[in-house]
Chains A and B, each alone.
Chain A
Amino acid sequence: MADAVSHADAGELLLDIRNLKIEATVYPPGEDPRQVTIVDGVSLKLHKGKVLGLIGESGAGKSTIGLSSMGYGRGGVKITGGEVILNGRDILKGGMSGLRKLRGREVCYVAQSAAAAFNPSHRLMDQVVEAALRHGTATRKEAERRAVELFRKLSLPNPETIGRRYPHQVSGGQLQRVMTAMALCSEPDLIVFDEPTTALDVTTQIDVLAAIKDAIRDTGVAALYITHDLAVVAQVADEIMVLRHGKLVEWGKTRQIIKEPRQEYTNALVSVHEIEHQEKPPRDTPILSVKNVTAAYGGSDVKVLKDVSVDIYAGQTLAVVGESGSGKSTLARAITGLLPPENGTIEFAGRKLSARLDDRKRDDLRELQMIYQMADVAMNPRQTVGTIIGRPLEFYFNMRGRERDARVAELLDKIEMGKGFVDRYPAELSGGQKQRVCIARALAAKPKLIICDEVTSALDPLVANGILNLLLELQSEEDVAYLFITHDLATVKSIADSIAVMYQGTVVRYGPKSKVLEPPFDDYTDLLLRSVPEMEIGWLEKAIEGRRMESAGN
């Protein structure tokens, strides 16, 4: 397969990974530690100034391969076989001091979460120039001048002064661009981009992506671009390598991979998995009715929700979409009573809900459940699946012993996780399985409404699809309503009956799905729709051209 790509015209070879094998020691609970193979016999070639996209689901080994180009293994990960030839030498033979010399100089790294990857106690400029100073490639003055130039190239606001700020003083999208500047500052030959836009809003992602693309073109640096999003990588990569379970699936030119995939798995990744969801018409009375709700944090003058009114009908889904900071999750907090609104009322199942959580009756709590984005932190790691799902049964219905166990088994069946999972701990489950357990826990309370807060955002596309299908199935069985919070418009199309678009605390567009997604659009909805990456070469430039307003993260 690798031979399918012709390298004859590609120019000088920069990185040549041969037969890479990477292993890690894992410590499963209650078992002896054992070796697992993370990457098995992968080879790749990258020429100067080219961009290779590494794509696959979580666990495919893409980050691990990317980091191997710097001789780095995260956690207990060790490179146990193969060669990593960079600029003509095998870096695995150079020892620790050899690796230190190339890290931050020949190869630089851009992490997924810039917010976590910047040291909170140092100013941005100090961190941006640090590698260049450490390797003596520039004096402080030269490095700072270059950094300011890069800030400007990456269209950061106030390029002259932004370096004096601390990481917490700039937005996530800006921080991601500063991180790119940090990687470019020591003029490396290769940059490893590890999901650099995954944690950003779609509207911000588009700007960061464009900035990264321009910077790569202008500096002539080569790049390994790691992501699980084919549509994103199609915008920047010359070639794409598809990985699965640590093995190579397919490697080819970007156009070939997205237009004529040769492997079945690549085809599955490429094809659009839109779920056909027939919109249901509103019923007579809503199950939940939010009326003119206004809310602020801690009596502040800044209102995070402004006069918000939405209705949700039994057995239907209202999707709430918007960028981070638009008030989507705050609306959920107001409905659950975590943030009592200053004004407005919330009616639920025909009764008025108390504003404060503490004043609510047990049935109010039971009938209104939540599922979260991070399934693993929403579960007690020391409880088994059975205990986690059984807890609401004990708490709300006083079920004990065999009765409870039977109901737990029934719920596990519903989420398509057979009996074998009852005694497992969350750490032994995959991301999708964890989210399923959270769904079962919510269902155990027999709720009328479930608030789903970005429940598929942290999952791989294929897994997320499974979760959406499950949610839809459960909705038709149990007649439960969903308030579905998301920033992903593709998800909205698959699941919603009605949609509320939020912007800076207000609902700017609201109605049945077909109406909301039908032109003419307001500027903000237009921006959201245009920002959803499409698997088209050249989509990025077209999308930026067509925008009528700037994204908030800029």
Chain B
Amino acid sequence: MSPIVKLVAQRIALGVLLLFAVSVLIFAGTQILPGDVAQSILGQSATPEALANLRQELGLNDPAIVRYFNWLGGVLTGDLGTALTTRQEITATLGPRLWNTLFLAFWAAIVSVPLAILLGLLAVRYRNGPIDKAISGFALASTSFPEFFIGYLLVFFFAVKLQWLPPISTVYDGMPFLDKLRAIVLPATALVLVVLAHMMRMTRAAILNVMQSAYIETAELKGLSALDIIRRHAFPNAIAPIVNVVMLNLAFLVVGVVVVEVIFVYPGMGQYLVDHVAKRDVPVVQAVGLVFAAVYISLNIIADIAAILANPRLRHPK
């Protein structure tokens, strides 16, 4: 087996193992939480018989390990359980919301990743000059504002004052694609502003690090232009650290959108999670936690694999 296949297989196996470990933690964590699920469903005035029946029905009397494997078995077959409060199938409710969150994250990423890398390249090209400082200053300022503040600023100017865009990002099934895009412009912009600086700064640092190498001097002594040197000779060797930070931010776009979704009342995972944490709906919290962990771990595996593939020594062994 070529070393690269082996390395990639190792990373994936490790990711799966990690996901199982996380599922154990999520399950254990929700078991430790105080309170009785049956009690919280039926309320304080429930009779002991009713409570006992409900416990029997929900399988709460089984040992924790049995309940864990029942839950895990369900998860593996696509059944995330039933929400306690609404009595609805979690998979059916969660599916469209996950899709909405991914839709928002996708468009935020499409804008922010190329923009961050381009700004990073430009910052290196004009390093320590006014352009570099302006880029860094703008990016740092936008990151330093909390996202809810940016969100409200955007709403105030573009929805309330200028009335170009809707203040609330309502999307529904069967909504025309362009309308959907229009609806998410403001939350996507808020997200872009949040993640831009981190990616841009890391791109700049990673490329500057590579710029110290002797082969950059070789390129310079071939008479290449500054931008060609950065693009052709520095950037390919800085891919690994850049991909890492990009993936970290993409993960944030999926799992960290709670606040932005709440501000724009966007029907995504964040909203769903917040609602059900408030209601102590343990199965929903577990399910959302697991989905977030899966997204996080997969993106990190992709980053690892990209770093492996970016290394010519591994791609082309002797």
Q: Which residues of A contact B (CB under 8 A)?
A: 70, 72, 74, 99-105, 108-109, 111, 113, 116-122, 127, 130-131, 134-135, 165-166, 168-169
* Contact (Cβ within 8 A) A103 B233: no
A119 touches B223 (CB 8 A): no
Of the stretches B131-139, B191-199, B209-217, B274-282, the one at the interface is: B209-217
Q: Is the CB of A121 within 8 A of B223?
A: no
Which residues on the A side are within 8 Å of B313 (C-beta)? Answer: 120, 166, 168
Instruction: Select B221's contact among A108, A118, A169, beta carbons within 8 Å.
Output: A108
Q: Check B236–A70 contact: CB distance below 8 A.
A: no
Nearest B residue to A179 via CB reads: B218
- The CA-CA distance from A166 to B224 in the complex, in Å, is 21
Instruction: For B215, give the chain A residue with the smallest CB separation.
Output: A119
B316 within 8 A of A: yes
Q: Contacts of B224 on A, CB cut-off 8 Å?
A: 100, 104, 130, 134
Please pick, from A102, A118, A131, A166, the residue contacting B215 in the complex, using a CB distance under 8 A: A118
Q: A117-B217, A119-B215, A120-B237 are in contact. Are A130 and B316 (CB under 8 A)?
A: no
Interface contact A118-B237, CB-CB below 8 Å: no
B44 to chain A, nearest CB (A): 63
Interface size class of B (residues with CB under 8 A): 20 to 34
User: Does B219 touch A at the CB level, under 8 Å?
Assistant: yes
Known: A113-B214, A119-B233. A101 touches B220 (CB 8 A): no
Specify which chain B residues have a CB less than 8 angstroms from the CB of A169 in the assembled complex: 316, 318
Q: Can you give 10 contacting A-B residue pairs, CB < 8 Å?
A: A70-B221, A99-B223, A117-B218, A119-B236, A120-B215, A120-B313, A122-B233, A130-B222, A168-B313, A168-B316
Interface of B is mostly: helix
- Is A111 a contact of B220 with CB atoms below 8 Å? no
Residue ranges of B at the interface with A (Cβ–Cβ < 8 Å): 213-215, 217-225, 228, 232-233, 236-237, 310, 312-313, 316, 318
Are A121 and B318 closer than 8 Å at their CB atoms? no
5 tightest A-B CB contacts, nearest first: A104-B222, A103-B223, A116-B214, A104-B223, A131-B222
**In the complex, which residues of chain A have a beta carbon less than 8 angstroms from the beta carbon of B220?**
72, 103
Beyond the given A118-B218, A122-B233, A166-B316, could you list 7 further A-B residue pairs with CB under 8 A, ordered by the A residue number?
Answer: A100-B224, A104-B223, A108-B222, A119-B215, A119-B236, A130-B219, A169-B318
Determine the distance from Cα of A102 to Cα of B223 in the docked complex, in whole angstroms: 7
Rounded to whole angstroms, the CA-CA distance of A103 and B310 in the bound complex is 30
Q: Flag if B217 contacts A74 (CB, 8 Å).
A: yes
Residues of B within 8 A of A113 (CB): 214
What is the bound-complex CA distance between A246 and B236, given in angstroms?
Answer: 38
- Given contacts A166-B316, A168-B312, A119 and B221 within 8 Å (CB-CB): no
Evaluate contact between A111 and B214: CB separation under 8 angstroms. yes
* Smallest CB separation, B211 vs chain A (Å): 12
Cα–Cα distance between A109 and B217 once the two chains are bound (Å): 10
Chain A residues near B233 (CB, 8 Å)?
119, 122
Q: Which residues on the A side are within 8 Å of B223 (C-beta)?
A: 99-105, 131, 134-135
- A166 adjacent to B221 (CB under 8 Å): no
A119 to B234, CA, bound (A): 9
Contacts of B218 in A (CB 8 A): 109, 111, 117-119, 127
List residues of chain A with CB within 8 A of the CB of B222: 103-104, 108, 130-131, 134
Q: Is the CB of A119 within 8 A of B237?
A: yes
- B316 to A121, Cβ gap below 8 A? no
Of A101, A118, A127, A135, chain B has the most CB atoms within 10 Å of the CB of A127
Which residue of B has the minimal Cβ distance to A169? B318
Contact check, A119 vs B219: say whether CB atoms are below 8 A apart.
yes
Judge whether B221 and A121 touch: CB under 8 Å.
Answer: no
Which of A72, A113, A119, A168 gathers most chain B CB within 10 Å?
A119
Q: Which residues of B contact A102 (CB under 8 A)?
A: 223
Residue of A nearest to B315 (CB): A166
Q: Is the CB of B312 within 8 A of A100?
A: no
B225 contacts across to A, CB distance below 8 A = 100
Smallest Cβ-Cβ distance to A102: which chain B residue: B223
Task: Tell me the complex Cα distance, A105–B237, Å.
Answer: 26
**Cα distance A120–B312 in the bound complex, in angstroms:** 7
Question: Looking across the interface, which residue of chain A has its beta carbon closest to that of B216?
Answer: A119
Contacts of B232 in A (CB 8 A): 122
